[in-house]
């Protein structure tokens, strides 16, 4: 059996609000070339399997899998498309390597959100066709419902949610990859247009285009490819209740299950004491708080307080979303999870430039597939030998 799996190469393109200069094939190619160069591999000979994370409806093409191999150097090689978050893709690659039959696996994810003319309609298409879609509501209403209940039960305030926006878009100012850095004030966030109350426009992550490619390798190969392997210490993922009518709105069981599985596979008993920083989905600002609580990193209602106090700032005890998160980097659709993992990789390699955190050994990335899903995936990464 394989001992460990590492990320040995990473490449990206973007992230930007629009990318009219390149087609989706070309942004995938850009990210792939950088990743392969980083890992020092030739995809035509050195890679055992390729995974793309994509959904037909976001690409505007049925069976998008058809269009993945060429620009990845993957023609006539094992290729698979996973309709899921980038972290589901990483988990799949991890499983393939752990079988012992695949040494090097590539994971690709991208977003051409700017090419989708009516994004809310696409998200609405994911809702239950019989019970929910006929209401013809903007899908953010689901997040609005959840935020309302979450704040009500945990005592989290609107101001605390707004602080997440300020922190993350502020962090993004130090991230050259980020598409939406901004220096915001509390009143900006609280007083701008409501979208699905209590959500305001600035509490929702704006979209961005980009592509991210990772090269993963089994330990014995990883060591020959790089001096700075980033180990995938743990993985976990879970689905909750698809039905809006039957789900819990406050305690996210599926996040807790994903996190528990990740901690268990990583051998981590005290996550709060072990994780140096985390990158969690914050596509709606309150989600950062709700996710931190579901991951067991603080008690219900505590995340908002910790944010206000600065405990999750870059200089704080547990930096959350040093990259700027989805709010600051931009919502890369299903590639968002990859963006969270990419930040972990950069931080753990000491390549995070101005936003480099000191003395980090273990980080975690949590992705969520967005409204109306209850699908989450988590990866724990470490640079310790």
Please, which of residues 29-58 interact with another protein by CB under 8 A? Answer: 29, 42-44, 55-58
Q: Which is nearer to another protein, 68 or 336 (CB)?
A: 68
Query: What gap in Å lies between CA 370 and CA 106, rounded to an integer?
Result: 24
Out of 73, 86, 330, 367, name the contact with another protein by CB under 8 A. 73
Question: Segment near another protein (CB under 8 A), from 9-17, 69-77, 285-293, 337-345?
Answer: 69-77
Identify the burial level of 354 via C-beta atoms within 10 angstroms of its C-beta, where 0-12 means exposed, 13-18 middle and 19 or more buried: exposed
CB of 384 to another protein, least distance (A): 21
Query: What gap in Å lies between CA 227 and CA 32, rounded to an integer?
Result: 20
- Regarding 100 and contact with another protein (CB under 8 A), the answer is yes
- Regarding 133 and contact with another protein (CB under 8 A), the answer is yes
Out of 37, 40, 125, 192, name the contact with another protein by CB under 8 A. 125
**Residues 6 or more apart in contact with residue 351 via CB below 8 angstroms:** none
Q: Which is nearer to another protein, 24 or 214 (CB)?
A: 24
Query: What gap in Å lies between CA 334 and CA 119, rounded to an integer?
Result: 13
Looking at residues 12 to 31 of the shown chain, list those that interact with another protein (rule: CB under 8 A).
Answer: 19-26, 29
Q: Which is nearer to another protein, 96 or 321 (CB)?
A: 96
Q: Which is nearer to another protein, 125 or 152 (CB)?
A: 125
Q: Which is nearer to another protein, 248 or 310 (CB)?
A: 248
Q: Are 74 and 47 in contact (CB under 8 A)?
A: yes
Query: What gap in Å lies between CA 84 and CA 55, rounded to an integer?
Result: 8
Out of 40, 60, 267, 353, name the contact with another protein by CB under 8 A. 60
Q: Which is nearer to another protein, 96 or 312 (CB)?
A: 96
DSSP 271-298: HHHH-SEEEE--SBHHHHHHHHHHTTSS
**Residues 6 or more apart in contact with residue 2 via CB below 8 angstroms:** 97, 98, 99, 100, 218, 219
Q: Comparing C-alpha atoms, which of 58, 54, 342, 327 is closest to residue 207?
A: 327
Instruction: Name the residue with tokens 């870059």.
Output: 314
Q: Is the dihedral of CA 295, 299, 304, 308 positive or negative?
A: negative
Out of 164, 261, 313, 364, name the contact with another protein by CB under 8 A. 261
Out of 17, 115, 228, 356, name the contact with another protein by CB under 8 A. 115
Out of 153, 155, 185, 243, name the contact with another protein by CB under 8 A. 243
- Regarding 138 and contact with another protein (CB under 8 A), the answer is no
Q: Report helix, strand or coil for 112.
A: strand
Out of 369, 379, 380, 382, name the contact with another protein by CB under 8 A. 369
CB of 322 to another protein, least distance (A): 28
Query: What gap in Å lies between CA 230 and CA 348, rounded to an integer?
Result: 7
Q: Which is nearer to another protein, 202 or 366 (CB)?
A: 366
Instruction: Name the residue with tokens 């809702």.
Output: 127
Q: Comparing C-alpha atoms, which of 110, 44, 32, 118 is closest to residue 75?
A: 44
CB of 45 to another protein, least distance (A): 10
Out of 6, 7, 35, 82, name the contact with another protein by CB under 8 A. 82
Q: Which is nearer to another protein, 209 or 293 (CB)?
A: 209
């Amino acid at each position: 059996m394989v001992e460990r799996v590492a990320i040995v190469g990473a490449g990206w393109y973007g992230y930007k609000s629009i990318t009219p200069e390149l087609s989706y094939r070309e942004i995938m190619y850009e990210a792939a070339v950088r990743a392969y160069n980083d890992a020092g591999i030739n995809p035509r000979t050195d890679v055992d399997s390729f995974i793309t994370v994509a959904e037909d409806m976001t690409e505007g093409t049925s069976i998008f899998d058809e269009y993945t191999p060429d620009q990845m150097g993957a023609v006539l090689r094992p290729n698979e498309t996973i309709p899921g978050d980038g972290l589901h893709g990483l988990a799949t690659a991890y499983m393939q390597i752990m079988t012992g039959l695949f040494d090097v696996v590539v994971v690709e994810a991208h977003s051409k959100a700017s090419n989708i003319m009516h994004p809310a309609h696409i998200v609405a298409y994911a809702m239950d066709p019989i019970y929910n879609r006929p209401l013809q509501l903007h899908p953010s209403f689901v997040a609005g419902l959840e935020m309302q209940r979450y704040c009500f039960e945990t005592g989290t305030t609107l101001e605390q949610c707004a602080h997440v926006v300020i922190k993350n878009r502020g962090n993004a100012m130090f991230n050259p990859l980020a598409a939406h850095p901004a220096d915001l004030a509390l009143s900006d966030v609280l007083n701008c247009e409501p979208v699905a109350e209590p959500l305001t426009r600035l509490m929702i992550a704006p979209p961005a285009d980009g592509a991210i490619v990772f090269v993963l390798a089994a330990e014995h190969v990883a060591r020959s490819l790089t001096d700075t392997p980033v180990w995938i210490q743990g993985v976990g993922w879970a689905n909750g209740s698809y039905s809006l009518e039957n789900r819990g709105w406050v305690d996210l069981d599926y996040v807790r299950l994903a996190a528990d599985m990740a901690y268990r596979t990583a051998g981590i008993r005290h996550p709060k004491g072990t994780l140096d920083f985390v990158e969690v989905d914050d596509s709606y600002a309150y989600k950062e708080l709700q996710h931190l609580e579901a991951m067991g990193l603080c008690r219900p209602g505590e995340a908002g307080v910790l944010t206000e106090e600065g405990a999750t700032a870059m200089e704080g005890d547990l930096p959350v979303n040093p990259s700027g998160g989805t709010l600051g980097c931009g919502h890369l659709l299903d590639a968002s999870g990859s963006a969270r993992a990419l930040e972990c990789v950069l931080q753990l390699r000491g390549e995070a430039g101005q936003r480099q955190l000191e003395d980090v050994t273990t980080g975690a990335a949590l992705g969520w597939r967005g409204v109306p899903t209850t699908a989450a995936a988590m990866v724990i990464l470490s640079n310790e030998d």
